[in-house]
Structures are given as C-alpha cells and as structure tokens.
C-alpha cells in the first residue's frame, strides 16, 4: 500500500513539472566555453594573421568606407603651409641649392630666408657643416654662396623629387649625380663654365663668389627639355599649438664640429626661432631681417665615413642616411615635441609623435638640423 501511494505521488509530481515546463517554453541553449589557442613561445601578443588564420576570422558583412580627407587648397605650399602668390609654382620641381657654410661662407649668406626649408648637415670628415636650401613657393634672385655637392644631397633630393644646383663635387659624387640617381643635376662647373648663364659670378673669392638664382635653374631645365611636373605629399601644418609637448624649449644648442655650433633662440613676438652660429646672429641681406625659423626640426641619422675623397687634403666624405628613420625633436612655439622621423627614397620625410601621429608644424620656414645623436643637442 505504501509503495502504491509513493508511486502515485511521484507520478503526480512528474505530470505537474511537465505541465510547468511546457508553459514556460524551452530554456536558452548553453553557451560553449571558448577555447584559447596559446601563442607559440616567443610569438608577439598580437601577431599578423597568416592566410590560414585570416580565413578563420569572420568579417562584418560590410566595412564602412573611410572618411574622405578634406583636400588642401591648391595655393597652400606643401612645405611651408602658407599661401603661394603663384600656385603654379607648387606643381614644379623644388630647387635644392648647395651653400657654403664655413666661416667665410656664412659672412656672405644671401637669400636663405626665401627658402621653403633648409637642411644643415655634417660633411668632410666630420669637420664642418654645409647647407642645402630648397625653393619652391618663392623665387630668389640671388642665393649663395654656392659650393659643391656632397653625398647627403643624393638622398635629400631623391626624397623630395627635386632638382639640384651646385658647383662641382668629387668625381664619384659627380658620377652618381649625373649617371645614377635619376634627378636633374645642374653643375655650375660643367653646365655653365662662365658662371654667367644660369648663375651669377660676384667677386673673386672662390668661397663666396658664385651665386645661384632660381629662375636660372628653371631656364636650364627648359633648355635641357626636362619635364618639371611635380606631385609629392607635403608636411602637416597647424596654427594651433599641439597639446602633447614634452616641455618648453626657448633656447636650443646644437653641437657641430669645427666651432660650428648652432643656437636657436625663441622670439615670442616673431613666433619663431632666431639663428646664431659660431656665436654670431645671422641676418639675410636679401630681406634685411634676422634668419627666423617657424620650426626647428632636429633629426638623428646614421653617419658613415666613406672612401670618397672630397678635397686636395684627402678629406673623406660622409654619407648620412636621410632616407631611413631615427629619433626626432620638433621645436615650435617655444615648445619641444618628441618622436621619430621616417623617410624613403621616393617621398619626403614624415615627423611622427606618439602613436605614429604626425606632428603638425607651424606654418612658415623650417630648418632641418641633422645630427648624429639626439644627445648632440640641449634645450631649455
């Protein structure tokens, strides 16, 4: 009797439970626990997917189109960020001119303030520096004093896709420039022996007499039938002061060999850095104004002493890898920004801050100071 009652109660409970579950509907399916595949020893935490791995990744049904960047006005110069009086110039080859920068050369500098940007770099067995100024958005009736080409000019002009104007060079450098690199090279000694057709000849001192003019370089390009069409990316510019500065920097000291140290002092009224070299402030007679840089860009690059003899004293040339990458300091508005620079042989360099984001420059002229290591500079 007891077992019969127990069986009856169990049967009733079973029926009741079944009716309750039917009323509530089916429960959710259990969620499987994902299996984590460990990375092999030494693998990166976020490796690049192989083709097999990529096939296993489910992609969204549609990928949103990236935002179309706002095109820059056609009259804004790519390397100054300022309006050009003649936008047609911005579609022509930028002109690079080699300029003497020893003590005698500095006393005769002319037209540097009219350049879009200026490079200073070590040459000749690490004994002195030379300058190369680039002109695109402005013409200059006189630039100088013009001197011979050096190895860094090869990488420099290749990156920007320009034309180089110098006065001679060692036989190996001349051969590379005339026969190998592929960009136009105007050699005053070879292409204008009288120094009167495309250049200017002022005085008798070989260190200071030869001057270039941008319209003379363009005349030579036309006479040679060289295509001058140009289209390269420029730098990023912003009037607004970026907010991720590493600190203030109103005085910059750059250690260069041979007593050629450079100092830049920030002038808040002019919103730029005034240049001193060898202890003397530098002025440009072409403008009757101090040399003033809106941006001072210091890049550390690999320097290698070559077997190329640059002069009668047996001084060896220096190859500077301007087409690679390295540490960077950008100075603008009395502030310093830290990062890296990257370049290749077909595009101008990029100035990159944290997260590879471009460091915007202040509109205006930039001086690119090339050093061996960032500790070669100090600032405060």
Q: Return d(Cα 109, Cα 208) in angstroms, integer.
A: 8
- Evaluate whether 272 touches 257 at the Cβ level (below 8 Å): no
CATH class of the domain at 87-223: alpha beta
CA dihedral of 164, 167, 173, 174, whole degrees rounded to 10 = 90
Q: Which pLDDT score is estimated for 71?
A: 63
- Evaluate whether 329 touches 369 at the Cβ level (below 8 Å): no
Sequence spans of domains, the chain = 87-223, 247-302+317-379
Residues in Cβ contact with 297 at an 8 Å cutoff, skipping those fewer than 6 apart: 328, 329, 330, 331, 341, 351, 361, 366, 367, 368, 369
Continuous segment of H or E residues that includes residue 153: helix 151-160
3-state helix, strand, coil in the chain (%, to 5): 20, 30, 50
Continuous segment of H or E residues that includes residue 4: helix 2-24
CATH class of the domain at 247-302+317-379: alpha beta
Q: Which pLDDT score is estimated for 305?
A: 97
Q: Which pLDDT score is estimated for 251?
A: 98
Asked if the domains at 87-223 and 247-302+317-379 fall in one CATH topology, the answer is yes
Continuous segment of H or E residues that includes residue 51: helix 51-56
Q: Which pLDDT score is estimated for 70?
A: 55
Q: Which pLDDT score is estimated for 74?
A: 86
Is the pTM value of this prediction over 0.75? Answer: yes
Mean pLDDT by 10 residues, the chain (380 residues): 39 39 42 35 34 32 46 88 96 98 95 98 96 97 97 96 96 93 95 95 93 98 98 97 96 95 98 96 96 98 97 94 97 98 96 96 98 97
> Burial of 374 by CB count in 10 Å (0-12 exposed, 13-18 middle, 19+ buried)?
middle
Cα 260–Cα 297–Cα 338 angle in degrees, nearest 5 = 120
Give which of 247, 264, 235 is closest to 361, Cα–Cα.
235
């Amino acid at each position: 009797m007891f077992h019969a009652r127990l069986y009856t109660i169990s049967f009733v409970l079973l029926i009741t439970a079944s009716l309750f579950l039917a009323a509530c509907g089916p429960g959710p399916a259990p969620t499987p626990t994902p299996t984590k595949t460990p990375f092999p020893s030494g693998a990166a935490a976020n490796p690049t997917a192989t083709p097999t791995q990529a096939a296993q990744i489910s992609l969204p049904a549609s990928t949103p189109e990236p935002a179309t960047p706002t095109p820059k006005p056609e009259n804004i110069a790519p390397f100054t960020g300022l309006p050009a009086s003649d936008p047609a110039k911005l579609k022509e080859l930028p002109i690079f001119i080699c300029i003497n920068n020893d003590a005698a050369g500095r006393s005769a500098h002319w037209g540097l303030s009219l350049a879009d940007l200026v490079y200073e770099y070590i040459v000749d067995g690490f004994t002195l520096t030379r300058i190369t100024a680039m002109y695109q958005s402005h013409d200059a009736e006189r630039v100088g004093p013009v001197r011979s080409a050096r190895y860094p000019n090869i990488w420099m002009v290749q990156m920007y896709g320009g034309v180089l104007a110098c006065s001679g060079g060692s036989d190996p450098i001349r051969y590379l420039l005339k026969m190998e690199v592929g960009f136009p090279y105007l050699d005053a000694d070879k292409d204008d022996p009288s120094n009167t057709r495309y250049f200017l000849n002022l005085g008798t001192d070989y260190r200071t007499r030869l001057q270039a003019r941008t319209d003379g370089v363009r005349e030579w390009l036309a006479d040679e039938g060289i295509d001058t069409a140009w289209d390269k990316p420029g730098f990023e510019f912003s009037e607004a002061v970026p907010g991720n500065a590493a600190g203030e920097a109103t005085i910059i000291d750059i250690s260069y060999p041979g007593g050629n140290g450079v100092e830049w002092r920030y002038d808040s009224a002019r919103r730029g850095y005034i240049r001193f070299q060898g202890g003397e402030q530098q002025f440009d007679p072409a403008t009757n104004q101090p040399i003033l840089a809106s941006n001072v860009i210091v890049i550390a690059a690999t320097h290698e002493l070559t077997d190329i003899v640059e002069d009668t004293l047996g001084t060896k040339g220096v190859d500077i890898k301007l087409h690679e990458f390295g540490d960077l300091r950008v100075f603008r508005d009395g502030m310093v920004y830290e990062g890296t620079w990257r370049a290749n042989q077909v595009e101008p360099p990029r100035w990159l801050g944290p997260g590879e984001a471009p460091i915007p420059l202040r509109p205006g002229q930039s001086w690119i100071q090339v050093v061996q290591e960032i500790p070669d500079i100090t600032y405060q």
